[in-house]
Structure 1
């Protein structure tokens, strides 16, 4: 098997592609899609009647078996011993517990996504109990995240860019590139390393957690730095749910303007929806359109970041001098190809309207593999690495970049949505 072993990037591309192809074939021939378990609940009664049921546990077990088989296949493709996956059942159980906690409606309302509970559970176990040695062989956080990104590619549909609205797309392009550059410049001023700068800038400018994860995959970033950026995104999003509507009211903004402002500044889709709903139905609609417009830019941004990182990657202690195309190809993260291929497949080859059930399952798989990745990160991370001097500086930069984002996006939202250009 070592002679046939693949790199992690190619392995994730194969695994992700295999699931997508099988999903399409099974739905085409048999009309079959997986029955995904539910994790959403409001009260204790809902938890017992909707989540902790025999049928739901069966669905969870089916997903576990499929995920375990995929992990074993990934180990085989990479030439790893199958025994390294023996800790996966515990990793899966911990992740499911986090998904159940994150499925609570109150947590959803305040913008606490499942990945933060995955991270916290892992951190508590590793720092207060100690991660068992026998589970460490399956803590492949980067691989889990990359597989999730392949599935994410299937949900980035090019035609949806037009459906998102020209005005939303114009605002998103201007805001994303401007805020990203400002954040990166600020990181440089604070002497923050390039890995952290890339992840932080993408998170604050594009679409929060997903952007940070995609950037980390594209540059092969440190998982501990990624976990810190994700924590920043989720924690900062919570007070913004309360602050943004209040500021919009004080400024006398209409629902359209307020929605455009909210959608362009808050970094998580769940928090955007919650904040827009607080302001009004029209604000909810516009904020969702603007945030979706930023989401569809993620694939383009990940590709550009991957090319840039491949071109400027260090050789030893020095930057390489203008590497040729072969060197760039060798360094280029191959999973990005899988991400793009999945997006192209559902954008131009597979009719998305007919295959919506397949896309829905792939989106669920995306969330599961992201969650597995963050549980792994928590189980490998020491608290001290999350509160070191560099991370404190990163927090200041993130807050500074988010402040710039709030002010700049308000200006752009006014120019795009607040002025009736047809009357000028």
Structure 2
């Protein structure tokens, strides 16, 4: 007999409800301003970031995310008293991480804010023995999935058209070929299924966002996700620096170089930075190709959800030759529906003017939810869990898959954009 309260929801449906509520409020005019975290010295830190006006914006974000998280705890039936003590700690550590990421010198390295939130969380977790009740009160999955629903508002299907037929063709060929190769390689190296799915998506689609979406779709281990994210962010830096140098040495056309960079580097920030190092044409091509791959994230997350639900049966289902439609629906991660629904809403329903008015606020909130999630992952993880002997095979798989990604993307970029007549439509 079920012990659920009448109003208690599953976490996935709660996420869809809360993410949808944030989007509805924004479209209704309740827009939470995005605070600034950019600074280069102590003067700009106090004048811009720690000013009364900017601290007020941070306070408004705190109220929104706290109210949302509290409502999430109530709807899912989680203990609220402990969460109220834990959340302010997570928020303060996350703000410190955003401050570090906002430094001008750090920005020049194109390091994502989530690596700082994860790093600070790991530092605290490994320097101090946090009580078990503190770890249990962390709401990592809730934070990640709300961020993913909001991420859908930035995945606009019309962006596919901006890439033209050649850009879309490259995105499809790269994503499919690299994903399959990476997954095959992981299986050959006996990497477990969860890590294999996350690595394959991260390498082939769009790095951090793809790894997070895949982990949510398969209900993956947060520690494994943090490991994949770390590999993505660390390898993006040398790729961002050396790939433009290689292109310059071999005198690649800017169109080819841009398509190569956009199709193989896993983070959008690193793609923009590397394209800028080459030139305006390379920057345009790299950005559009990257957008094309980003748009495929929603379709990929949905396909991965169906595949995982269909192939990974629980012990109670193993007696069945195939899961029934009801079983698939029961185990299907419902937050994906919120992600896709948000994307469809902003692609075909919301006007361009209305979308532009809420874009910055929702994108900033999305980044905040992800940062909160990775602070939580760090706080509940030990370094020994993140980097150990068992992590070597996933590392080898990731590096080999990334090498294949770089090579196959270069070949495809040259075939599509090496001709004088080849061009993207913008």
Same fold flag (TM > 0.5): yes
C-alpha contact 2:150 2:339 (8 A) present in aligned 1: yes
In structure 2, the residue matched to 1:170 is: 169
In structure 2, the residue matched to 1:29 is: none
The question of 1:23 aligning with 2:12 is answered no
CA distance in 1, matches of 2:419, 2:302: 34
The question of 1:314 aligning with 2:313 is answered yes
Q: Name whichever of 370-379 and 38-47 sits farther off.
A: 38-47
- Counting only pairs closer than 5 Å after superposition, residues 92-131 of structure 1 correspond to structure 2 as 92-131=91-130
In structure 1, the residue matched to 2:407 is: 407
CA distance in 2, matches of 1:320, 1:44: 64
Instruction: Say how many residue pairs are matched.
Output: 418
Secondary structure of 1:60's aligned partner? helix
In structure 2, the residue matched to 1:362 is: 362
Shift of 1:33: 2.4
CA distance in 2, matches of 1:321, 1:217: 26
In structure 1, the residue matched to 2:5 is: 2
Shift of 1:67: 0.8
In structure 2, the residue matched to 1:346 is: 346
CA distance in 2, matches of 1:303, 1:59: 35
C-alpha contact 1:312 1:320 (8 A) present in aligned 2: no
CA distance in 2, matches of 1:192, 1:295: 26
Shift of 1:134: 5.4
Secondary structure of 1:148's aligned partner? helix
TM-score (norm 1): 0.95
- Residue segments in structure 2 that go unaligned for 5+ positions in a row: none
In structure 1, the residue matched to 2:392 is: 392
Shift of 1:48: 2.1
- Counting only pairs closer than 5 Å after superposition, residues 260-279 of structure 1 correspond to structure 2 as 260-279=259-278
CA distance in 2, matches of 1:147, 1:183: 28
- Counting only pairs closer than 5 Å after superposition, residues 182-197 of structure 1 correspond to structure 2 as 182-197=181-196
- Counting only pairs closer than 5 Å after superposition, residues 18-417 of structure 1 correspond to structure 2 as 18-26=21-29, 33-86=31-84, 87-133=86-132, 135-316=134-315, 321-417=321-417
Shift of 1:347: 1.1
Q: Name whichever of 268-277 and 315-324 sits farther off.
A: 315-324
Shift of 1:139: 1.1
C-alpha contact 2:262 2:271 (8 A) present in aligned 1: yes
CA distance in 2, matches of 1:152, 1:124: 28
**Deviation >4 Å, runs of 4+:** 317-320
CA offsets, 1:7-40, max 9 Å, x none? 11001111000111111112xxxxx522211112
CA distance in 2, matches of 1:51, 1:230: 27
**RMSD over equivalenced CA pairs, Å:** 1.7
Secondary structure of 1:5's aligned partner? coil
Q: Name whichever of 211-220 and 40-49 sits farther off.
A: 40-49
C-alpha contact 1:126 1:379 (8 A) present in aligned 2: yes
Shift of 1:346: 1.0
